[in-house]
Structure 1
């Protein structure tokens, strides 16, 4: 049976990992194309309906805004829906991209919201971010510097987390710049050779519990943090770090490509693979990567940087085509050139640095088979930015856009589908 090292960079922000809760009043924005796809120049016809108790809400006061995603609306209006519904011509786009309609209703002091995002030939969206001529050299040299540093793995058994089948450890690895990379390592107790699962986190600052259930099923698992601090401290410590020294870490040292925050993070992902690949319990040949949001970004980055990765699956990758805003369209999280960040970051040195860290340029290096998934309504990682990265991947790839209405979250069926696919590859199924 074919087995792969599964490098899991799982789901993003804590508030975005689950499907949103049901709302008392539902604002439905329905396009006239079931696949939400249109040709440039073709008008998008929408029906906006407001329901309460599954019945159309009469005389609802509705405000809607239409425009390219994340941009200033080109059309907006406030109307009263006498019968609870409105037919609307949302207009069109003349070039590949996404047109979004956001509709809101206020009732009894609460606001209810719905949206739909129409795609116009997204497979033809091209990146805006520069691809530095020395991109490959920069990262080859960085990995060479990392390779000179001993892994220096330090494992501390966590007896309270161990199971009958699995030993659980707090792990510390040596990384660049005299820093450490921490995680929760789970190793099957039974002697043998195992595939490994590395979970790289989404954005934020938090402790980690480890992937104990997966280890019980016969995997080496390692769930890491990216901030160079132990991952077993009291949750209050991470809250203080998030409000204090790690607040806005996504922009730290953006003016210097050699000191930007994500250099240590990206190399830490490689260091984690170093450790797993060197474990005597590891089967020695099988590697894959998957994840969501910042984790989706890190999964693509890791696959691009490290040839030991043989499989890839990513949900809504962040850090993709971040310079979109400088070119009149949506850019990827963390939205370095949008809103209040624009004036601070719109400088030549900061723009130049993004080219060395944007997921688009790592995507160009991904040649392993991959599966990707996102919805058109994602407002954290705009689909324009994600397609910009996806479209340049040279390796075999499949994009699942079955769940069009998802934002920065997944349905249970969606995650099950991705994992079933991954496990199918682990079993050697075609």
Structure 2
């Protein structure tokens, strides 16, 4: 796959105008107020994994609508804290998997909460355990077009709210320093991490790898890869609903959340990525922290990679980067 998007120097300067609704902030403020009216109800059940250096818990907390959201909470064995925490979100179609898959951040000295993604977990990996009890109107297979005609009904309104509640949940765990919480994820997980960064004003840091869910309109114009292709398929059938679709997505765009973030950030981008095109990632990165003034941010570029990005190379960078901020 050749480089297909803007030239690297154009990407670095890319600051597109996006459709941001006037009531974006009030929409999300009321959404979170409603979610937080329900007790977070964090429940931890110790899980035996056979690993002596970490402790693992099956965690459940109340997400959007009070719906139970599952996850794994892993921490260094014998450490009482207060410890910094990393809240991680998973990629599209994946689930929380098995606890032995998620030990790196605990081994690095953090309390690590991996949030299961509602309704997902059967496309890749070792499975998920959180249902999405909310239905939707006609939709393309996948998740992007569930509730596509109304932002209040859209699937990602629920997921982003779950993500904010995951931060609330980890802050309620004994031994966690609530002032040192980082959001983290790749692809869909990176998009959720950005959304939470725009909705939670006091995070310690944000790490978003090849983030999905950014600059929807451009994504549908320059790639036919899935999952953005779900939106394209829907609009090819529902020809009279195109602007309504983009209006809904304007409440969910990672670029708007990035503008509102105020924590230091580390991004990554792959210049041959047709799943999350580079210009959509740079749209979020270049706008990141725009409302906060001067803000530390960096992006790692992988020129000859596709959506896999940096993988373990990036994780190695993240461990060192976060150690200097937590």
- The within-5 A match list for 1:172-187 is 172-187=60-75
CA distance in 2, matches of 1:256, 1:148: 23
TM-score under structure 1 length normalisation:
0.64
Residue of structure 1 in register with 2:116 after alignment: 225
CA distance in 1, matches of 2:58, 2:254: 30
Asked whether 1:390 is paired with 2:285, we answer yes
Asked whether 1:318 is paired with 2:318, we answer no
Count of aligned residue pairs for this structure pair: 305
- The within-5 A match list for 1:273-352 is 273-324=167-218, 329=222, 334-335=227-228, 339-344=232-237, 347=241, 348-352=243-247
Secondary structure class of the residue paired with 1:163: coil
The Cα of 1:283 is off from its aligned counterpart by: 2.1
Secondary structure class of the residue paired with 2:176: coil
Asked whether 1:124 is paired with 2:13, we answer yes
Residue of structure 1 in register with 2:146 after alignment: 252
In structure 2, the CA distance between the partners of 1:251 and 1:416, relative to structure 1 (3 Å rule), is same
1:219-259, CA deviations, whole angstroms, 9 ceiling, x for partnerless residues? 2221111116899xx95788xx9xxx994122111111111
CA distance in 1, matches of 2:219, 2:112: 38
Query: Match for 1:358 among 237, 243, 253?
Result: 253
- The within-5 A match list for 1:11-410 is 69=4, 98=6, 118-119=7-8, 121-159=10-48, 161=49, 163-190=51-78, 191-210=80-99, 211-227=102-118, 247-324=141-218, 329=222, 334-335=227-228, 339-344=232-237, 347=241, 348-393=243-288, 394=290, 395-401=295-301, 403-410=302-309
In structure 2, the CA distance between the partners of 1:382 and 1:229, relative to structure 1 (3 Å rule), is closer
In structure 2, the CA distance between the partners of 1:421 and 1:174, relative to structure 1 (3 Å rule), is same
The answer to whether the Cα contact below 8 Å between 2:89 and 2:186 also exists between their aligned partners in 1 is no
Structure with larger Rg? 1
Gaps of 5+ in 1: 1-26, 30-35, 37-68, 70-96, 99-117
The answer to whether the Cα contact below 8 Å between 1:372 and 1:398 also exists between their aligned partners in 2 is yes
CA distance in 1, matches of 2:216, 2:225: 5
Higher strand share: 1
CA distance in 2, matches of 1:375, 1:392: 18
The Cα of 1:375 is off from its aligned counterpart by: 1.8
Structure 1 runs, 4 residues or longer, greater than 4 Å off: 228-231, 234-238, 328-333, 336-339
1:159-189, CA deviations, whole angstroms, 9 ceiling, x for partnerless residues? 2x15334332211111222421110112444
Q: CA RMSD in A?
A: 3.0
Gaps of 5+ in 2: none
Residue of structure 2 in register with 1:112 after alignment: none
CA distance in 2, matches of 1:271, 1:137: 18
The answer to whether the Cα contact below 8 Å between 1:319 and 1:333 also exists between their aligned partners in 2 is no
The answer to whether the Cα contact below 8 Å between 2:142 and 2:227 also exists between their aligned partners in 1 is no
In structure 2, the CA distance between the partners of 1:179 and 1:312, relative to structure 1 (3 Å rule), is same
Higher helix share: 2
CA distance in 1, matches of 2:127, 2:321: 37
1:240-295, CA deviations, whole angstroms, 9 ceiling, x for partnerless residues? x9xxx994122111111111001111011111111111122112321222221111
Secondary structure class of the residue paired with 1:252: coil
